[in-house]
Amino acid sequence: MFTKEEIAASYREIQDTICKGLEEADGSAVFEEELWTREGGGGGRTRIIQDGQVIERGGVNFSAVHGKLPEKIKTAFGVQEEDFFATGVSIVIHPKNPWVPIIHMNIRYFELNKQTRWFGGGIDLTPHYIIPADATFFHKQLKEICNQFQMNFYERFKKWADDYFFIKHRQETRGIGGIFFDRLQPDNSMLSYDQLFDFSKALGKNFVPIYAELIKRNQKKSYTLDQKDWQFIRRSRYVEFNLVYDSGTKFGLETNGRIESILMSLPPQANWVYNHQPIAGSEEEKTQQLLKKGIDWVKDLG
């Protein structure tokens, strides 16, 4: 049986591995690190990479925090305990080339006591231009990981991602989804805590191979200024979701988290264009039409 300290140590190692892999995939930029402490308990390592050949800006953050749970969070979680521990790795990468997708991953562990604890996280892709073959590759990789642990995980967590990464006020998904899960425990997963920990680590260890392949496929594609403008518009939708709906952002703000680390998920530039409508038949319209729930991406659409 693991301890919370062992989980935090494993997540720190995953942060190191991912940062090294992203530096290799980019080819020029390196991460800058800032160590921080949280008033109330704990701290973390914020790592930012920017102005690279591939990555315009990205963050790979680790945190392990503890202290008193705010009343608002206690109510939301439906718990009475006050002392909490939370650790995790959170990643958001905003690429330079519009043909390379935005990617997000989060793995986390939360504990109030030995009876009240759970794992959460997920990984999802937000292409500026949806390339069906890339979407199929991405979802097949996630399904293979899930199937190593529980055969119903992919379908269950894929639907959860479709529902979670939905911009209600736009009636569109943030991207092509992926998998999302929260409050996983033995009684709702049919896995032990040790197996859930292994599942969490498997996602972290597969992040670089998956994203490096998508970078390799698309980083040398040429693009126009109009396509760059579309990228900025798609980024604005990403911002809207994170600031309005994202539970991790809300949790960080309500538990006195470090604001720079919380908002590292935002891109360096995003544009809002009044009532923008893609041109009929354009690649932009094709992408817009695929921003919906329930698409079977594992089926080869390429």
- In Å, the largest CA–CA distance within the chain is 57
Nearest to 181 by CA among 117, 98, 123: 123
For the record, the structure tokens of 99 come out as 């043909």
Contacts of 35 (CB under 8 A, 6+ apart): 43, 44, 45, 46
125, 95 in Cβ contact below 8 A? Answer: no
CA dist., res. 50 & res. 31, Å (int): 8
The number of beta carbons lying within 10 Å of the beta carbon of residue 145 is 19
Q: What does DSSP assign to residue 83?
A: E
188: tokens are 């709702």
Residue type, 167: I
Q: Is 104 a catalytic residue?
A: yes
Give the active site residue among 66, 94, 104, 276: 104
How is residue 3 written in tokens? 């301890």
- Known catalytic residues are 104
